[in-house]
Structure 1
Amino acid sequence: MTDDPIKKIDEPGTGPNQKRPRARHDGKNSLLLANRKRAASATGNVSHGISTVPVIGIGASAGGIEALSHFFDAMPADSGCAFVVVLHLDPKRESEMANVLGARTAMSVVQVIDGMRIAPNHVYVIAPNSDLRIGDGALHVSKPVAPRGQGHPVDVLFSSLAADQHRRAVAIVLSGTGSNGTEGLKDIRAEGGMSLVQAPETAKFDGMPRSAIAAGMADHILSAEKMPEVLLAYMRHGYVSPETEIEAASPDGHATIEQVLDLVRAHGGPDFRTYKRSTLKRRVHRRMGLRNIETLDEYIDDLRTRPEEVHALSGDLMISVTAFFRDAEAWEALAELVIAPLVAERTTGGSIRVWVPACSTGEEAYSIGMLVTELAEAAGKRFDLKVFATDAQEVNLRKARDGIYPAAAIAGFPASRLHRFFEKLDGTWQVRKALRDMVVFAAQNLLRDPPFSRMDLVSCRNVLIYLEPEAQQRILALCHFALRPGGHLFLGNAETIGRYEDLFETASKKWRIFRRLGPTRHDLINYPAPNGSRERHAIDKILSPATEQNVPAAEMARRALLERYAPASVLIDHQGRVLYFHGRTRDYLEQPPGEPTRDLLTMARDGLGSKLRVALREAVKDDKSVTVSARMRESKSGRSVVMTVMPLPESSRDGRFLLVSFAPAPSPQEPADARPRECG
């Protein structure tokens, strides 16, 4: 049986009793004089609701005493910072934690009482059986809401730290079991703060560090004794000062934010030119702070020599922050104003279609799936629910498809919801397969790729706030296009429909829920081709007649499909890759397990592939439309399907493109000449 140091320190005679001599520090690692004066004079005073003392949150559990000892052994006592330490303590025993840590530092170490003001060069330790929050320059203690053993005090601390310190927030995760701290680090990241995570190989218990690293929330991975040096360098950086902002260009004009964005694109990253300049500058400045780089010129040089930094910057700029039922009152309004009426009006067996663009790691998409399912079951109905969730980052999509989340992510769920939709793994929870199957995750660039269509609901929350007005209006037009008449748009609390009041009416002004108005506005939709895209260029040439040169390719494809192929259809290139989907293609195509694919024959449902392959070959060979029938082997009786392959005019440079449509086969009672001719 492994000893737990956290338990041992509360046993009489097992912890250090005497404060050992403190090693002197020459001040070379302390903060800049201005920073120190500001912290020293503050002693917890509040400025605009933010503590003026830099506050460092530290979370740990099993094995944390050893890691904390190494950290404070190396931490100067005159940094001007305050340290707030949260550990899992026995709720029935008095803690000796303050005495133990007091032996490792010359700073004052105290156990927190409610309302205690924050002062520089102090260490504050959580009391047993409590949650600890930071706000308005003080520490606030409350009784845990969750039952014993199910609380997440580190997440509570980190989330409050993010809200109080914003981009100055620093969170440290040390040795411990489980995933406590990971969810709180997401809030730290969202506010632009920094995280330090103990290197798992140096931690006595590596559960908490590994959870934070796996979630992509670790800015630095270090041993505990190396953290103070990195922390102090970061606190000296101009990014941490509220008055400091990065310039868009260097004084000589050689280095610009545009060059940074060009480097990201050159390495295959997204195009961030439509993002707000303030957001871009803040996030670039954050990366400079993490790298301890002072000038934009130096940072561009760093990007040129370190591809991993380009990847890290790209991830930071995407701002992947989400949560289950984020803003609970907004979800209550959505249930009352949108989902419940939708459930009431649809008959059992009907379909409900939802699109969640920029879905990040999937929490919002799964939240909608849960909400619709719960309300449908309460009404005694069953629907064909399909939630389409898209994101530009494949790393996010992989996590979303797995559907595995730390316990803190679902804290506060009613027991009925938790056990209805999740199953417990080791220290985590996974979305049950039935719910995962309702959600289709796919890669999509919201500003470049065509949208879905005829959706009942589009949930596009906290996306517009990061974009320039022109990009905001473009996305709102895409959302209008994607919705069926009368469908609803769900935005974030700080987002509006802008000048598109003729496209939407307000269902809830407070919670930003809007209802689509009017016909589809094709004039507002535009699908710009990505740089260097041969496929998109070829489609533009093939699908755009001379009289409509300015009509976007995807819109031309949509019109052609509606005019000639009312059934479910796809547009493919000469290699069989799907470039465009129309209608209910999931009845005939599905994504196989593993990495997503666009290969048509790979996606074809069982029984369709061989006949479809023959039809494709003949259509290309003879340059004519070919129709075949096949039977899907999904049940004893199976379903007969008619498939038609029609070649499109050939581009001499880019090769052959084809339209492939699917429809149920005519019933045996229909005239023979109405049935398709099989080939091959």
Structure 2
Amino acid sequence: MAFVLVQHLDPNHKSALAGILSKVTPMPVSEVENKVVVEPDHVYIIPPDKFMTLSQGILDLVPREDTARHFMPIDYFLESLAKDQGSNAIGVILSGTAADGSKGLKEIKSFEGITFAQEPQTAKYDSMPLNAIATGSVDFILSPEEIAYELAGIARSSIYGTKIADPRKIFTTSADELKQIFTILRKTSGTNFSEYRELTIQRRTLRRMALHKIEKVGDYVDYLRKNPAEVEALYQDILINVTSFFRDPQAFETLKRLAFPVIMKDRAPDEPVRIWVAGSSTGEEAYSIAIILMEFLGDDAVNTPIQIFATDINEILIDKARAGIYPKNINTDVSFERLRRFFVKVDGGYQISKTIRDMCIFAKHDMVKDPPFSRLDLISCRNAIIYFGPAMQKKLFPVFHYALKQKGFLFLGSSESIGAYANLFNLDDKKYKVYSKKAVPTPLLPEFTASEYVASTIENREKISRSSPGANLKFNVIEEANRIVLGQHAPPGVIINSDLEIIQFRGRTGAFLEPASGTLQWASQPCRCRRDTHREAT
């Protein structure tokens, strides 16, 4: 294990840190010069007035930028560490001011690395540890002495290193144990992780094993059964998805240039712009789209109804997204003008303005299992599909095609594509993965049962909770009662609007009809709808 110390140093004075540390450790300590190959059991210190990165095991120095506003050397290094070392990376945030290092820890955890923060009570300056902890990405919150003890234990663990980097070595004989983990997670969360990308699940399971120094998968299964808190921790680890404001800025500019003019062309004044951000995590993606749409609309924004449905299966992330509060270091991703216009300062950071928050409805929703939204102008699902297996993708892309309007757009991450579903979407921008819907029939959708989460209730629930804070609990009780009655006693059917367009499928309708683009294709029997089931779509 090698140690790299990145500290906020005065750019105009030479650092004496290397000399100080060399007196208290037998390991060689040196201030980094450019292109240094990292060796085990060595300590490396960043020089003043520099950024530092790690690439292929080599430390590189980068001149500091002129503006101090963007000087985040710890984030800069930790993000490169995560990309270079993956699951072997360990990040530690110690005493310090501001929020440098918080983004870097999130990046390390997303690559299955391990993260620490100093216990704030033991820190002379607690801002950096507190901001790191607030991200929800910290594995251990300990005193410096306890951090050293844990690091030594991790270094001695055989599960750390080669096995966590190549999980197939330990899971080749443990297929049954992996299935047992899937079963435990499904019973607790309702999510079927067996359809997720198996290698991702294996790596994040082994990361949890490394934290607890558990060597065998079977022993970890037993540990899960005895510790419900660990089941929740594994669930959160599997679902972690690093995001940021305007991630890949040119992609957002491309969306603004290609999609928005088409979406707004010949639009009726009272027709809302409807957008679905699937896998919204902590909300940065949804808010970024809202901001660029406001910028595109200019003076017309005030008279344009906008509905952005932002969904995720992780309720903890949904709660954070709904609050819309972010640390100060978002100023590395958000321009000063956007901070001034779309954010307000709060203790420790920034909050999205109420105007933007009111456009965005955050709710728990499984994009594969739960009924989709409909009549959408845009679906953004970035950096989520890469974690899905082929079976999930086979279900997902027809759902997206069905949910979009005839001139709707699909926005994916830079490393994602529609794969075998090029028959459903046109590729409008290859580099930034902007697609438009093709005018072809939608393949048969998966059957969404009435007992599952109903997408159309999300908007109504949000309106009720905003109008009357005490009404939310009452509405939840009513919603749960409706869910039970529908799931156990209601016949299959559909909800349609005044144009006879299907808004939602309820129950198993496959024996009666199957969805297609624009019109219905009738199956073995006709389906008759009672007049009292016909209502306007929300």
How high is the TM-score relative to the length of structure 1? 0.66
Three-state SS of the structure 2 residue aligned to 1:449 is: coil
Aligned to 2:259: 338
Is 1:211 aligned to residue 105 of structure 2?
Answer: no
Is 1:306 aligned to residue 181 of structure 2?
Answer: no
Aligned to 1:493: 414
Aligned residue identity for 1:302: Y
Quote the Cα distance in structure 2 between the aligned partners of 1:579 and 1:139.
51
Three-state SS of the structure 2 residue aligned to 1:304 is: helix
Aligned residue identity for 1:312: A
Aligned to 1:245: 168
Quote the Cα distance in structure 2 between the aligned partners of 1:159 and 1:581.
39
- 1:279–1:466: 8 Å Cα contact kept in structure 2? yes
Question: By how many angstroms is 1:85 displaced?
Answer: 0.9
Aligned residue identity for 2:130: R
Question: By how many angstroms is 1:135 displaced?
Answer: 1.5
For 1:266-305, what per-residue CA distance to the aligned partner results, in whole angstroms no more than 9, with x for missing partners? 2235221211221211111111111111101110111111
- 1:460–1:490: 8 Å Cα contact kept in structure 2? yes
Quote the Cα distance in structure 2 between the aligned partners of 1:473 and 1:171.
37
Aligned to 2:215: 294
Aligned to 1:536: 451
Give percent identity, aligned residues only: 35
* Alignment counterpart, residue 581 of structure 1, candidates 418, 439, 456: 456
Three-state SS of the structure 1 residue aligned to 2:296 is: helix
- 1:474–1:524: 8 Å Cα contact kept in structure 2? no
- 1:449–1:527: 8 Å Cα contact kept in structure 2? no
Is 1:117 aligned to residue 37 of structure 2?
Answer: yes
Alignment of 1:88-99 (within 5 A): 88-99=8-19
Structure 1 residues 602 and 536: alpha-carbon distance in aligned structure 2, compared to 1, 3 A threshold: closer
Quote the Cα distance in structure 2 between the aligned partners of 1:258 and 1:244.
15
Give unpaired runs (5+ residues) of structure 1.
Answer: 1-80, 530-534, 538-577, 605-647, 649-657, 665-680
Aligned to 2:515: none
- 1:403–1:431: 8 Å Cα contact kept in structure 2? yes
* Alignment counterpart, residue 430 of structure 2, candidates 506, 509, 514: 509
Q: Which moved more, 1:401-410 or 1:341-350?
A: 341-350
Is 1:386 aligned to residue 261 of structure 2?
Answer: no
Aligned to 1:363: 284
Is 1:144 aligned to residue 73 of structure 2?
Answer: no
Question: By how many angstroms is 1:501 displaced?
Answer: 2.1
Is 1:200 aligned to residue 141 of structure 2?
Answer: no
* Alignment counterpart, residue 362 of structure 2, candidates 436, 441, 451: 441
Question: By how many angstroms is 1:178 displaced?
Answer: 2.1
Structure 1 residues 403 and 601: alpha-carbon distance in aligned structure 2, compared to 1, 3 A threshold: closer
Aligned to 1:230: 150
Aligned to 1:15: none
Question: By how many angstroms is 1:334 displaced?
Answer: 1.3
Aligned to 1:167: 87
Aligned residue identity for 2:309: F
* Alignment counterpart, residue 248 of structure 2, candidates 307, 323, 327: 327
- 1:155–1:408: 8 Å Cα contact kept in structure 2? no
Say what the alpha-carbon RMSD is for the aligned residues.
3.0
For 1:581-623, what per-residue CA distance to the aligned partner results, in whole angstroms no more than 9, with x for missing partners? 289869985645769948559999xxxxxxxxxxxxxxxxxxx
Quote the Cα distance in structure 2 between the aligned partners of 1:360 and 1:243.
27
Three-state SS of the structure 1 residue aligned to 2:275 is: strand
Question: By how many angstroms is 1:389 displaced?
Answer: 0.1
Question: By how many angstroms is 1:110 displaced?
Answer: 1.7
- The total of aligned residue pairs comes to 484
Quote the Cα distance in structure 2 between the aligned partners of 1:260 and 1:406.
35
Aligned residue identity for 1:97: L
- 2:327–2:348: 8 Å Cα contact kept in structure 1? yes
Quote the Cα distance in structure 2 between the aligned partners of 1:447 and 1:583.
16
Quote the Cα distance in structure 1 between the aligned partners of 2:50 and 2:255.
34
- 2:465–2:471: 8 Å Cα contact kept in structure 1? no
For 1:55-76, what per-residue CA distance to the aligned partner results, in whole angstroms no more than 9, with x for missing partners? xxxxxxxxxxxxxxxxxxxxxx
Three-state SS of the structure 2 residue aligned to 1:89 is: coil
Structure 1 residues 593 and 289: alpha-carbon distance in aligned structure 2, compared to 1, 3 A threshold: farther
- 2:30–2:43: 8 Å Cα contact kept in structure 1? yes
Question: By how many angstroms is 1:357 displaced?
Answer: 1.0
Structure 1 residues 190 and 593: alpha-carbon distance in aligned structure 2, compared to 1, 3 A threshold: farther
Quote the Cα distance in structure 2 between the aligned partners of 1:582 and 1:398.
18
Three-state SS of the structure 1 residue aligned to 2:421 is: coil
Quote the Cα distance in structure 1 between the aligned partners of 2:464 and 2:534.
12
- 2:78–2:107: 8 Å Cα contact kept in structure 1? yes
Quote the Cα distance in structure 2 between the aligned partners of 1:206 and 1:269.
38
Structure 1 residues 263 and 246: alpha-carbon distance in aligned structure 2, compared to 1, 3 A threshold: farther
Structure 1 residues 97 and 596: alpha-carbon distance in aligned structure 2, compared to 1, 3 A threshold: farther
Question: By how many angstroms is 1:456 displaced?
Answer: 0.5
Question: By how many angstroms is 1:662 displaced?
Answer: 6.5
Quote the Cα distance in structure 2 between the aligned partners of 1:501 and 1:290.
42
Three-state SS of the structure 1 residue aligned to 2:195 is: coil
Q: Which moved more, 1:336-345 or 1:117-126?
A: 336-345
Aligned residue identity for 2:168: E
Three-state SS of the structure 2 residue aligned to 1:238 is: coil
- 1:246–1:282: 8 Å Cα contact kept in structure 2? no
Structure 1 residues 466 and 363: alpha-carbon distance in aligned structure 2, compared to 1, 3 A threshold: same
Quote the Cα distance in structure 2 between the aligned partners of 1:200 and 1:380.
44
Structure 1 residues 596 and 387: alpha-carbon distance in aligned structure 2, compared to 1, 3 A threshold: farther
* Alignment counterpart, residue 295 of structure 2, candidates 347, 354, 374: 374
For 1:208-266, what per-residue CA distance to the aligned partner results, in whole angstroms no more than 9, with x for missing partners? 21222221111122211122332233233334214553544646x7x520101111122
Aligned residue identity for 1:536: S
Alignment of 1:471-620 (within 5 A): 471-518=392-439, 521=442, 524-529=444-449, 536=451, 579=454, 581=456, 591-592=466-467, 597=472
Structure 1 residues 269 and 209: alpha-carbon distance in aligned structure 2, compared to 1, 3 A threshold: farther
Question: By how many angstroms is 1:579 displaced?
Answer: 4.8
Aligned residue identity for 2:228: P
- 2:375–2:403: 8 Å Cα contact kept in structure 1? yes
Quote the Cα distance in structure 1 between the aligned partners of 2:537 and 2:197.
45
- 2:244–2:333: 8 Å Cα contact kept in structure 1? no
Q: Which moved more, 1:183-192 or 1:409-418?
A: 409-418
Quote the Cα distance in structure 1 between the aligned partners of 2:29 and 2:46.
11
Aligned to 1:130: 50
> Which one has a bigger Cα radius of gyration?
1
- 1:250–1:297: 8 Å Cα contact kept in structure 2? no
Question: By how many angstroms is 1:186 displaced?
Answer: 1.3
Question: By how many angstroms is 1:469 displaced?
Answer: 0.8
Q: Which moved more, 1:488-497 or 1:145-154?
A: 145-154
Is 1:401 aligned to residue 316 of structure 2?
Answer: no
- 2:318–2:363: 8 Å Cα contact kept in structure 1? yes
Three-state SS of the structure 2 residue aligned to 1:186 is: helix
Aligned to 2:340: 419
- 1:274–1:471: 8 Å Cα contact kept in structure 2? yes
Quote the Cα distance in structure 1 between the aligned partners of 2:173 and 2:61.
46
Quote the Cα distance in structure 2 between the aligned partners of 1:527 and 1:150.
49
How high is the TM-score relative to the length of structure 2? 0.83
- 1:394–1:443: 8 Å Cα contact kept in structure 2? yes
* Alignment counterpart, residue 6 of structure 2, candidates 79, 86, 91: 86
Structure with the largest fraction of helix:
2
Alignment of 1:150-189 (within 5 A): 150-189=70-109
Q: Which has the higher contact order (CA 8 A, sep 6+)?
A: 2
